[in-house]
Amino acid sequence: MAGGFMNNDPQHKRQAWSVLIVSTLAFTVCFMVWMMFGVIGIPIRKMLGLNATEFGLLTAMPVLTGSLVRVPLGIWTDKYGGRIVMACLMAVTVPAIWLMSYASAYWHFIVIGLFVGLAGGAFSVGTPYVARWFPKNRQGMAMGVYGAGNSGAAVNKFVAPVLLVAFGWAMVPQVYAAIMLGTLVLFWLFSHSDPSHRVPSNVKFTDQLKALKDPKVLKYCQYYSIVFGGYVALSLWMVQYYVGEYGLDIRIAALLAACFSLPGGVLRAIGGLLSDKYGAHSVTWWVMWVCWICLFLLSYPQTDFTVLTVNGPTTFHIGLNVYAFTALMGVLGVAMAFGKASVFKYISDDYPGNIGTISGIVGLAGGLGGFILPIMFGLLMDLTGIRSSAFMLMYGVVWVSLIWMYLTEVRQLPLLGKSSSSGSPSKS
């Protein structure tokens, strides 16, 4: 175990909190940049005349690279330390963010979006980086606080519409590039490095990737594909959903969409605390059921049906109004926030010496969910014409997670209890 886990030195504690605060700030800015197309994609779609599938691909491209780089970034963090890897990652994204303001063709946005998307890899750097500064019984809290940087999706919905309306969409990436550069300076000044947190240099890349053979890792990937991948996908999709479904102005749409994004990011820290107290399994189990109920209600499309009564035909309307829809999205965001933290509590409990690699693998799965889902949302809408088909798709994904969890965890609990009471060793 890295030496920093049990260090009670006051200076070490100050450094730990400094690392956590400045890393969370950096991740918030990275996530804000990563979700940029969720707002500026709307005028770009109108400018280029894109259909729903093309719009989904546009918003998803940054998510693709931000996902694919998570495994190598997690491994490099284990080997070289989080401070240098995070700083280099942020520095690389600044030119790409700035260049976005000069794009004019669809392929320009796709290609530049791939480079901007590197910012999304910050999660796999910061998670092991901050976790190793805290003792095991506080790691859920530390990773939860850091993960609250997901609220950058909500910050994007507050900042980007104001800049867009006042100066046009091209001003947004220019301002974001300046913010990223300033955050990089602050991060370097107030972060710290502890060589004892690094994986020994004799550990090979192939040795670390052996974790892919572990069925528990695959299961955590499935969980994370809905609580994080679904969160990313909906953060990108919701502004245009409000505009199309309820005919709202983009500023009002962004504000209401933030009712999902903000709790879905900020409350991740509470999810970490709950996971420390009640365990990763209990929190994740209830998260999946809450998501299942919310997505079932959100899936129902706006419907008019006619009933032949004794007084003649009578038409009824069934559908969520904007207030009920926003309330359900808020509950869904809170559940996903708790779930994102509880999944990573599983990781810190089961793989304390290999957090970087495992978090990279699980983060990759979650990120790929965030990449695939917006494209599927657009494809389903083009095929069916039903906007709520996005929630129908996610409802099915949650079913898979619930069934998998029941078979591998819930059904095993009585057996584990009986085995322990008889004095036989139990299996995890």
Across all residues in the chain, what is the average pLDDT? 85
DSSP for 14-29 reads HHHHHHHHHHHHHHHH
Contact 330, 259 (CB under 8 A): yes
Query: What residues pair up with 313 in beta bridges, in sequence order?
Result: 308
Residue 126's SS3 state is helix
Contact 183, 26 (CB under 8 A): yes
Contact 234, 134 (CB under 8 A): no
> What pLDDT score was predicted for residue 147?
81
Contact 55, 240 (CB under 8 A): yes
Q: Is the predicted pLDDT of residue 206 greater than 70, yes or no?
A: no
Q: Using one digit for the tens of pLDDT, what is the confidence trace for 110-125?
A: 999 999 999 988 888 8
Q: Using one digit for the tens of pLDDT, what is the confidence trace for 30-86?
A: 999 998 998 899 999 999 998 988 998 998 899 888 888 887 887 788 788 889 999
Contact 328, 215 (CB under 8 A): no
Q: Which amino acid is at 221?
A: C
Q: Using one digit for the tens of pLDDT, what is the confidence trace for 301-322?
A: 888 888 998 888 999 888 889 9
DSSP for 310-335 reads TTEEEEEEE---HHHHHHHHHHHHHH
Residue with the two structure tokens 């006042």? 166
> What pLDDT score was predicted for residue 118?
92
Q: Is the predicted pLDDT of residue 11 greater than 90, yes or no?
A: no
> What pLDDT score was predicted for residue 205?
58
Q: Using one digit for the tens of pLDDT, what is the confidence trace for 157-183?
A: 889 998 988 898 999 999 999 999 999
Could you say which architecture CATH assigns to the domain 11-197+218-412? Up-down Bundle (1.20)
Which of residues 286 and 414 earns the better pLDDT score?
A: 286
Q: Is the predicted pLDDT of residue 199 greater than 80, yes or no?
A: no
Considering only CA atoms, which of 64, 88, 69, 235 is closest in space to residue 152?
A: 235
Greatest mean pLDDT range, 71-75, 147-151, 228-232, 411-415: 228-232
Query: What residues pair up with 88 in beta bridges, in sequence order?
Result: none
Greatest mean pLDDT range, 262-266, 324-328, 344-348: 324-328
> What pLDDT score was predicted for residue 207?
60
Which of residues 295 and 165 earns the better pLDDT score?
A: 295
The two beta strands, 303-309 and 312-318, are antiparallel
